[in-house]
Amino acid sequence: MTTTRFAPSPTGYLHVGNLRTALMNYLIARQAGGSFILRIDDTDATRSTQEYADAIREDLEWLGLTWDQEEKQSDRLDRYAAAADKLRDMGRFYEAFETPTELDLKRKKQLNMGKPPVYDRAALALSEDAKAEMRAERGNGVWRFQLDHERINWTDGILGDVSIDAASVSDPVLIRADGQVLYTIASVVDDTDMGVTHVVRGSDHVTNTATQIQIIKALGGTVPTFAHHSLLTGPQGEALSKRLGTLALRDLREAGVQPMALLSHLARLGSSDPAELQMDLQSLVDSFGLSKFGNTPTKFNVDDLYPLTGRYLQALPLADVADTVSGLGVPDDLAEKFWGVCRDNIETLNDLEAWWTLCRDGAEPVIDADDADFVAEAMTLLPEGPYDDTTWGTWTAAVKAETGRKGRGLFMPLRKALTGQSHGPDMGSFMPLLQVIKAKA
Ligand code: GLU
């Protein structure tokens, strides 16, 4: 069975970059009728918080990305310890005592000599006595996995054939000096135990994948199919990493972005398929294909989410937004009309409030000096409310007959006088919603 997972660390709020990973894994599982696991990668106890873990769930629920199983790495520490013991018994695990400063110095020397900055395995040469001495002096060391120096190959779901020379990679630290198990081994143990068949993640994990393939094999697991999507950049190709904090999913929700707009955009961005609004998740599932994605950095522009949100909303019946509409105080008998007229003039539901305020309280009229007399005359011809769908037509016909104005010169000053704006809903349909017309007073 196809099993995928989304494995965020609860050290911050989910952002669009995380969502791209979550969505791809979700869609693969759903398309195959498989299982999607939410795994909270909380081995870093100092940086992980319950609040962020809850926020991750809440954000995924908002988007409708349901998961079939939930796991938490802090519940599984004994499994990681057992795996570490196994690697130790196999002689693939060794303790190293270099301080960060020493490692840095080694790296600098290597770079100066034009060599790749790969850990030199000096610790492998330490005798048991030397290690005991080090331990007494410096405390416990870190535990490194000894890579087999051969090429590591895999066929990546996005990058195609990848081949990495293990000798160009440092032996990864899997356990820190303070005993904290690191993601690299925890993830491997989980993926194996949970039967994960496909792993999609960002291309910043390519080297991790190479080392993890060797660890999985050492532990006797089955190597899943890996795919690495390109990283998102800003609209000009600039690195997004620093701005990702401002692209948190909860901020987008707050700004009124609709889940389907966000999901539709991210399910296609960077693929050969054109960006297209889909109205439901199933349509995204049906049209998704990992092989359509390219490996060049993908530009993301938050502004693209708003027109899509507008188009999504325009397709919704009142029933889908009835709570929002009545929450604004729109009376039930006007709700259908209000939504039918205003949905074409909003980008997000947040924009509805301004339209309702305008209808309820009237707009400050905008009257150009040249039009002052014309508007004043027109207002004397405006009948008393309440208005209906025929009011605008009858009124503007009367104003035309009286003043001789026609076309834009007739309609635009009246629109601006009634709504305070030069753009907006069709005035014929909008008139019945206007409770107050300030220009009339
Ligand atoms: N917790 C890891 C991260 O957020 C998971 C990476 C993975 O998918 O294996 O980067």
CATH number reported for the structural domain that contains residue 121 in this entry: 3.90.800.10
Domain count, the chain: 3
Instruction: Establish if 143 belongs to a structural domain.
Output: yes
For residues 293 and 324, membership in a common domain is answered with: no
Check pocket membership of 8 for ligand 1, CB cut-off 6 A.
yes
Q: Are residues 300 and 323 in the same domain?
A: no
Query: Residue 439: what pLDDT?
Result: 85
424 lines ligand 1 (CB under 6 A): no
Instruction: Report the CATH number that the domain containing residue 42 is assigned in CATH.
Output: 3.40.50.620
Residues 67 and 83 in one domain: no
Residue 217 lies in a domain: no
Domain match, 87 and 52 both: no
Domain limits at 326?
318-440
Q: Are 101 and 32 found together in one domain?
A: no
Distance of CA 137 to the CA centre of its chain: 47
Same domain for 325 and 311, yes or no, is no
Question: Which is nearest to 52 in space by CA: 230, 245, 205, 301?
Answer: 245
Evaluate the CA torsion angle 63, 65, 66, 67 in order and state its sign.
negative
- CA 365 / ligand 1 centre spacing (Å): 55
Spacing of C-alpha 269 from chain mean position:
12
Residues 94 and 159 in one domain: yes
Residues 335 and 366 in one domain: yes
8 Å CB contact between 131 and 95:
yes
- CB of residue 201 inside a 6 A radius of ligand 1: yes
Residue 334 included in any domain: yes
Q: What is residue 431's predicted lDDT score, i.e. its pLDDT?
A: 96
Same domain? 328 vs 362: yes
What local confidence, expressed as pLDDT, does residue 363 receive? 94
Could you give phi then psi for residue 229, rounded to 5 degrees? -85, 155
Could you tell me which residues come within 8 angstroms of residue 51 by beta carbon, excluding any fewer than 6 positions away? Answer: none
State residue 427's pLDDT score: 96
Out of 256, 291, 315, a domain closes at 315
Residue 202 in any domain: the answer is: no
Per-residue pLDDT of the chain in tens (441 residues, 90 and over written 9): 999 999 999 999 999 999 999 999 999 999 999 999 999 999 999 999 999 999 999 999 999 999 999 999 999 999 999 999 999 999 999 999 999 999 999 999 999 999 999 999 999 999 999 999 999 999 999 999 999 999 999 999 999 999 999 999 999 999 999 999 999 999 999 999 999 999 999 999 999 999 999 999 999 999 999 999 999 998 888 887 767 667 899 999 999 999 999 999 999 999 999 889 999 999 999 999 999 999 989 999 999 999 999 999 999 999 999 999 999 999 999 999 999 999 999 999 999 999 999 999 999 999 999 999 999 999 999 999 899 999 999 999 999 999 999 999 999 999 999 999 999 999 999 999 999 999 876
Residue 175 · residue 85 · CB < 8 Å? no
CB-based contacts of 186, cutoff 8 Å, min separation 6: 41, 43, 73, 76, 80
Domain end among 315, 347, 364: 315
40 and 154 both lie in a single domain = no
Cβ-proximal residues to 280 (8 Å cutoff; 6+ apart), any chain:
260
Cα separation values, 230 from 69, 151, 203, 212, 383, Å: 27, 23, 5, 19, 62
Last residue of a domain, one of 315, 332, 353: 315
Residue 238: inside a domain, yes or no? yes
Instruction: Give residue 8 CA to ligand 1 midpoint distance, Å.
Output: 6
For 145, the 3-state DSSP assignment is strand
* Per-residue pLDDT reduced to its tens digit, 40-54: 999 999 999 999 999
Asked if 340 and 413 sit in the same domain, the reply is: yes
Both tokens of 309, joined, read 């949100």
> Residue 17: CB within 6 Å of ligand 1?
no
133 Cα to the center of ligand 1, angstroms = 36
Residue at 241 is within a domain: yes
Q: Are the CB atoms for 144 and 171 separated by under 8 Å?
A: yes
Task: Say whether 79 sits in a helix, a strand or coil.
Answer: helix
In a domain, 194, yes or no: no
Q: How far is the CA of 34 from the centre of ligand 1 (A)?
A: 20
> Is the CB of 411 within 6 Å of ligand 1?
no
Give yes or no: residues 89 and 129 share one domain: yes
Ligand 1 neighbour 183 (Cβ under 6 A): yes
Residue 326 lies in a domain: yes
